[in-house]
Amino acid sequence: MYNAVLKLSEALFVINDLIEIGHLFPKISAEHVALEKRKSRWFPKNLTKKERLKPYNAIKKVFQNIELQRIRDYLWEFLRYGLSRGSCDDMFDFEQVNIVFKQIDKLVSIAYLLANRDYLNLTEDKV
């Protein structure tokens, strides 16, 4: 799981760089999102309506809130302490862990949403 989340975060970071250089991504309508919700087996509930309409902006916001290196560091620490015999109560501040977890959870949901859009092959003219 560590490697999967790390690679996913890195891939979304590359997408974030494309956003920064002005790469244009397709616009999605509210009707499109509603159709996705009906056709999908699972739909991310932790994303706002605005984030579902503009997931690339949501990616940008996540990386404004937390740097990729911080995600790497926390994932490594989570893995290290999860496999240790000791307690990690003294090692982590709950608020920091919660912030990082929410950002990683958002990245995973955005990635699922984008992958699902490609899989369902929904386009504006089909809505």
Q: Sorting pLDDT into bands at 50, 70 and 90, what band is 126?
A: very low
Long-range pairs of 92-95 with CB within 8 A, sequence gap ≥ 24 = none
Measured CA to CA in angstroms, residue 116 lies from 36, 61, 65, 94 at distances of: 8, 21, 25, 32
Residue at 122: amino acid letter: L
Q: Is the pLDDT of residue 26 over 50?
A: yes
- Which single residue is written with the structure tokens 């991310």? 44
pLDDT in tens, 44-103: 999 999 999 989 889 999 999 999 999 999 888 888 877 777 666 666 677 888 888 899
Higher pLDDT, 88 or 38: 38
